Chain A
């Protein structure tokens, strides 16, 4: 399998994740879509390492994974904090900052 096959697979997964982020109403559902998009990027990085023989891509993929884990932790903490105050995690109902 060539590089293009892996990049195409990553593009499909990224598009599916983007669809989820755009259409989900639940804040946790939006976070799930973001997870899918970040995974697609990691596939790209690993594929470039495999086909160009440069380990930097794997290092970047490791950094991305670590940053994603931090992002999920903070994001879910924010979701729980919002739920405590507003009793909802529906993104459409969180209009506190709307002008």
Chain B
């Protein structure tokens, strides 16, 4: 196996194990920690895919930002110590059947699809991304800024102190 294959299978194992931890652990706080591990593993997958800029964004926004506000939300809605933090799952069989059916469907589609041609050497695409963001995608980028401002104001409105 090449070094890339070894790295891929190692990261894939970590990612799948951390994802299973997110959905199976009874402790909600531990689930968030597993999610942080899964997000970092996803970032390493981005590195393998020659997208270091996406890796940085992933670490800054997801592993840094999202995990932090998730922890804050848990502290605001649950008592950190004691049994209130534990959560149970319901309809496990139904959920497993549905998720497995979706997985089989997608993997079957993948199996029937023709193999992609071998990829050429992977250049760093960060400069191309910057050109695209300021060129053809300039308007969606501005709309995204408006969306973020609206989401920030909406979140502040929902979570405002009671008066």
Residues of A in contact with B (beta carbons under 8 Å apart)? 1-9, 11-20, 22-26, 28-29, 31-33, 35-36, 39, 42-43, 46-47, 49-51, 53, 55-56, 58-59, 61-63, 65-74, 76-81, 83-84, 89, 92
Contact = CB atoms under 8 A, between A and B. Distances in A.
Given A47-B49, A51-B119, A55-B125, A35 B132 contact: no
B19 A36 contact: yes
17 contacts: A1-B4, A16-B19, A16-B22, A16-B23, A20-B22, A28-B28, A32-B31, A35-B35, A35-B66, A36-B19, A42-B46, A43-B49, A59-B133, A68-B62, A68-B66, A69-B65, A73-B155
Contacts of B45: 6, 9, 43, 46
B100 A15 contact: yes
A4 B26 CA distance: 33
Main secondary structure of the interface of A (DSSP, over half): helix
Interface of B: 4-5, 8, 12, 15-16, 19-20, 22-23, 28, 31-32, 35, 38-39, 42, 45-46, 48-51, 53-54, 57-58, 61-62, 65-66, 69-70, 72-74, 76-78, 87-92, 94-96, 98-100, 102-103, 106-107, 110, 113, 115-116, 118-120, 122, 125, 128-129, 131-133, 137, 140, 144, 147-148, 151-152, 154-159, 162
B23 A33 contact: yes
A55 B125 CA distance: 6
